[in-house]
Amino acid sequence: MEQILTLATNNLLSPIILSFALGVAAALARSDLSVPEAAAKALSIYLLFAIGFKGGVSVSSHGLDAKLGLSLIAGIILSAALPLIAFALLKVMTGLSRLDAAAVAAHYGSISIVTFVAATSVLESSGITSEGYMVAVAAAMEAPAILSALWLISRGGDGRRMDSDLWREILLNGSIVLLVGSFLIGWVTGEEGLTEISSFIVAPFKGVLCLFLLDMGLVAGRGLRRGGGVLRPGVLAFGVLMPLIGSAFGLAAGLMLGLSMGGVALMMVLSASASYIAVPAAMRVALPEADPSIYLTLSLGVTFPFNLTLGIPLYVAVASALTGA
């Protein structure tokens, strides 16, 4: 318990979380503070490239093992299965329609790459190493949840067609292409490549993450201000409970795979996080009747801040306790 509190305190008082809090507070106070759209896009490109590249270098240094393939399979299964659990929970806890519940459930099977990036930063700050290929697991977990949500809807007799454009947008969305592409570049170029560009992708990383999370805080705060009214108590409770349930499944998968303590923590983070970029876009195309203010506010305004502030230290502490690291 003491370890959890220490980690939580350190995390809450880190520049990363305080930057996020500043953004939320500014948005809630209706400040005109904003990060230009193009700058925010550039920051996210930088973070995705850096995290992918470093993951590839790590795989290059430590070599490939069977765990990579198994971790990918585990990630895909988790992504496909978690929406089914989320859907059942939503039906019990909330009065959401089948359509809204399926759309929300899809978000909780997919992942938030920003939460993943923040978690890797916390691990690095604590000197905890993790499997570099967790970046590839993150990419693999983006899409299966969307298929599960559409299956849930089709079971209710409302068949939805996935057109080829939607497939392309999901599987080749910019974030996945950049993450996987930079991972491969890091893998191919290894430590030598990292040395060449480390002054760009290692040293400034946390500063850039602070600015990016400031923007995320602004977006989350605006979302809460605008959409907070649509979230009833049961829906709000789901936004906190579901990450804990997801993280438990991630924990079980990580332990079964024999991942390192850092790897288990990241698997928990991935399973606990909820998408707010790829899945909302897919839902707007495939399930346009579902209410975006529910799933976006829940994912971005409730689950994302929860994971960022309390979830990550909790997952790291639990992974540490159960792996004996």
Partner 1 sequence: MKTHKAKRVEITIEAIMQSRLTEALTKAGVTGFSVLPVRGGSGRSGAWVRAGEIGRASGMVQVICIIRPERLDALLEAAFAVVDRHIGVVSIVDCEVLRAERF
Binding site for partner 1 (CB under 8 A): 34, 36-37, 165, 169, 216, 218-219, 222-223, 226, 276-278, 280-281, 283-285, 288-289, 292-293, 296, 300
Closer to partner 1 by CB, 219 or 308: give it. 219
To partner 1, the closest distance from the beta carbon of 223 in angstroms equals: 8
Closer to partner 1 by CB, 131 or 291: give it. 291
d(CA 240, CA 236): 7
d(CA 250, CA 296): 23
CB burial class (10 A; 0-12, 13-18, 19+) of residue 199?
exposed
CA 128, 129, 130, 133 torsion: positive or negative?
positive
Cα–Cα distances (Å) from 29 to 9, 19, 32, 203, 295, in that order, read: 25, 15, 9, 33, 23
To partner 1, the closest distance from the beta carbon of 283 in angstroms equals: 7
To partner 1, the closest distance from the beta carbon of 202 in angstroms equals: 26
Find how far residue 211's CA is from the centre of its chain.
Answer: 18
Closer to partner 1 by CB, 69 or 288: give it. 288
To partner 1, the closest distance from the beta carbon of 226 in angstroms equals: 6
Closer to partner 1 by CB, 2 or 165: give it. 165
On whether the CB atoms of residues 103 and 297 are closer than 8 A, the answer is no
Amino acid at 70: L
> Which among 103, 138, 135 has a CA at the least distance from the CA of 272?
138
82: helix, strand or coil = helix
To partner 1, the closest distance from the beta carbon of 219 in angstroms equals: 5
Q: How many Cβ atoms are within 10 Å of 45's Cβ, its own excluded?
A: 14
On whether the CB atoms of residues 110 and 242 are closer than 8 A, the answer is no
Closer to partner 1 by CB, 112 or 271: give it. 112
- Residue 170: CB partners within 8 Å, gap ≥ 6? 142, 143, 146, 278, 282
246: helix, strand or coil = helix
Q: Phi, psi at residue 291, to the nearest 5°?
A: -80, 110
To partner 1, the closest distance from the beta carbon of 222 in angstroms equals: 4
Closer to partner 1 by CB, 174 or 193: give it. 174
Cα–Cα distances (Å) from 236 to 9, 176, 317, in that order, read: 24, 29, 25
Closer to partner 1 by CB, 186 or 227: give it. 227
Closer to partner 1 by CB, 37 or 192: give it. 37
To partner 1, the closest distance from the beta carbon of 212 in angstroms equals: 11
To partner 1, the closest distance from the beta carbon of 101 in angstroms equals: 18
